[in-house]
Amino acid sequence: MRTAGRISSILNYRITINLDKRINRNKSLALLLIVFMLLTAAGYYAGKQWIWPENRSYFEYRIDNLKEVLKKHPDSGNIRAELALTEYLNGNSAKSIGVLRDILTKEPGNQSAALYLGLILSEEGDYKESIGLLTNYIKQRQGIETRLAFLYLGRNYLEIQKYDLALKYLKVAAVRDPGNPVIYYYLGQTYEKLDDLKNAKSSYEKALSLSNGFTEAEKALTALVSGRQ
């Protein structure tokens, strides 16, 4: 059996996903935050079940669990949204995006669906639509989930080369979630684009101080220091 001990890397924000090897490592930086959020919320609808069969991934187990709950609450957009997010993490991106769009068509005010769709679209490279969804989301919400929205907004603006806006949102994310090394990694990337190498170096060092095995931050810091010599 698997226990909560097997997911300590996720709960510690480490940039290694031991939960399910099928997750593409190229997406692990940002997906890690989604997984953490999902695991933090796990149990709200389906009970705090941290043990699942050895021959199944957590996501497969969670999907079946949520489907059973959905039978009892077929009109719940929030349960459908969580199921769609879990399906995405299990590799079914097209279906997940379609379900979340359907929820928002029927329930334009469903903030869970808006957040999840914004995060997923960012992962899929649709940064502009993601920005629209997440910007509206943070206008409506003040809860803990906004730290993800600010991080993804910063990352989105970094990807579309609007570095001042990226810096703005990543700084807010760092205030709201100061223990998250992923934020400091993206801050380092942004500072580099702005030719602020001193703050870039400090950001990478901060990321590594929070997660010693953060390979991406190590590589970025090494490249930065080597380039200045």
DSSP for the chain, please give it. ---GGGGHHHHTT-S---S-TTS-GGGHHHHHHHHHHHHHHTTTTT-------TTS-HHHHHHHHHHHHHHH-TT-HHHHHHHHHHHHHTT-HHHHHHHHHHHHHH-TT-HHHHHHHHHHHHHTT-HHHHHHHHHHHHHH--STTHHHHHHHHHHHHHHTT-HHHHHHHHHHHHHH-TT-HHHHHHHHHHHHHTT-HHHHHHHHHHHHHH-TT-HHHHHHHHHHHHHH-
The CATH architecture assigned to 149-228 reads Alpha Horseshoe (1.25)
Domain ranges of the chain: 56-141, 149-228
The pLDDT value given to residue 22: 39
The predicted structure's pLDDT at residue 3: 30
Q: Which fold has domain 56-141?
A: 1.25.40
pLDDT (tens, 9 = 90+) of the chain, 229 residues, equals 333 333 233 333 333 333 333 334 344 455 555 655 555 554 444 444 444 455 567 778 888 888 998 999 999 999 999 899 889 888 888 899 999 999 999 999 999 899 999 999 998 999 999 999 999 999 988 766 688 899 999 999 999 999 999 999 999 999 998 988 889 999 999 999 999 999 999 999 999 999 888 888 999 999 999 876 5
Enter the pTM of the model: 0.78
Computed from CA positions of residues 175, 181, 185, 188, in that sequence, does the dihedral angle turn out positive or negative? positive
Would you say the CATH fold of 149-228 matches that of 56-141? yes
